[in-house]
């Protein structure tokens, strides 16, 4: 079985404010992670520090990781695949979704968009990565990633579910096309014949083989902008931390019914959604700054 590259210690960066909240009338779960707060600020410095260890397995395939594991330039090789930070409006969300699916859900990556976007223009219309979740010895989920960064949380959720519904229902470059790409990708991954046969058995199971059941699921990440009253920064550290964490939690809880509505609107009851949310201060500026720091291997937060 594939192994995750991001350990559970990644989660030490966050307060886990909402843990696997079950969404009514579905098998979906909602999680809210809030970056740790020190001195009335989010600890972006620690986030960048940890992401420097995550960016290599995010950007590179398992084959590349093995081939270049002792190469000093492996980090440069990885970050060269990132877009320029000035025009980079989504990759931070893709990176964080990858980290959360691996560290929180224990679902190892099969591939990310980074691995194929240079070889096929069609793939960039697909998911933001694919992970495999083992439920038990017979049951697995193929998890397709969808990440959005939007100042407004509800708009981000709207965009995510709309994109997923389109991915499922459109005639070309849809979920079935992507499953075919996964199969082709695995053949290039350099996995053993035994591992390839095992993974193919899961990804494209035979109806005559009742030992393996596979269903498709979605991992959703929405990063949103947190609007804070400037007067809050004048509070004591304890008061600030308490009030801000509560404001964030209430903001996300208020959207649970909206998640239910979108599942109902698109008739997506047969799919499991693992929804992750993280708030940011000055989202647009912060996402660019984080990517810039990763690309040049610095940390100016």
What are the sequence ranges of the domains in the chain? Answer: 8-296
* CA distances in angstroms from 272 to 141, 143, 254, listed in the order given: 9, 9, 20
Give residues with Cβ within 8 angstroms of 79, minimum separation 6. 55, 59, 294, 295, 297
Taking Cα atoms as reference points, which of 136, 142, 133 lies closest to residue 108?
133
pLDDT, residue 63, reads: 82
Taking Cα atoms as reference points, which of 221, 278, 291, 284 lies closest to residue 52?
291
Give residues with Cβ within 8 angstroms of 27, minimum separation 6. 272
pTM of the model: 0.94
Distance spanning both ends of the chain, measured CA to CA:
38
Taking Cα atoms as reference points, which of 148, 75, 63, 67 lies closest to residue 111?
63
Model confidence pLDDT, tens digit, residues 28-75:
999 999 999 999 999 999 999 999 999 999 999 888 888 888 888 999
Least confident window among 148-162, 173-187, 245-259 = 173-187
- Which among 62-76, 102-116, 183-197, 251-265 has the top mean pLDDT? 251-265
pLDDT, residue 88, reads: 63
Place of tokens 């199971």: 205
Task: Kindly give the interhelix angle for 153-169 and 175-188, rounded to the nearest 10 degrees.
Answer: 80
HSE (side-chain half, CA atoms, 13 Å) at 212? 19
Are 149 and 126 in contact by the 8 Å Cβ rule? The answer is no
182 or 141: which carries more pLDDT confidence? Answer: 141
């Amino acid at each position: 079985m594939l192994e995750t590259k991001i350990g559970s210690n990644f989660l030490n960066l966050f307060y886990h404010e909402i843990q696997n909240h079950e969404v009514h009338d579905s098998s979906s779960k909602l999680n809210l992670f809030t970056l740790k707060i020190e001195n009335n600020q989010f600890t972006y410095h620690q986030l960048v520090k940890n992401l420097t260890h995550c960016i290599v397995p995010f950007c590179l395939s398992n084959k590349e990781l093995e081939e270049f594991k002792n190469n000093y330039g492996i980090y440069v090789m990885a970050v060269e695949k990132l877009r320029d930070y000035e025009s980079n409006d989504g990759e931070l969300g893709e990176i964080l979704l990858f980290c959360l699916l691996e560290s929180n859900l224990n679902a190892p990556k099969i591939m990310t968009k980074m691995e194929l976007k240079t070889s096929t223009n069609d793939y960039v219309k697909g998911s933001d990565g694919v992970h495999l979740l083992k439920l038990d010895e017979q049951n697995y989920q193929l998890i397709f990633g969808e990440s959005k960064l939007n100042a407004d949380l509800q708009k981000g959720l709207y965009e995510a579910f709309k994109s997923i519904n389109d991915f499922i229902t459109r005639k070309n470059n849809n979920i079935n096309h992507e499953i075919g790409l996964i199969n082709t990708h695995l053949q290039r991954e350099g996995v053993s014949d035994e591992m390839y046969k095992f993974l193919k058995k899961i990804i494209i199971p035979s109806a005559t083989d009742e030992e393996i059941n596979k269903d498709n699921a979605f991992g959703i990440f929405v990063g949103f902008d947190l609007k804070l009253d400037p007067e809050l920064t004048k509070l004591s550290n304890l008061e600030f931390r308490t009030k801000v964490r509560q404001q964030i939690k209430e903001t996300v809880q208020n959207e649970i019914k909206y998640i239910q509505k979108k599942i109902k609107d698109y008739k997506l009851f047969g799919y499991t959604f693992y929804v992750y949310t993280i708030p940011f201060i000055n989202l647009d500026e912060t996402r660019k700054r984080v990517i810039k720091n990763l690309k040049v291997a610095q940390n100016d937060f």
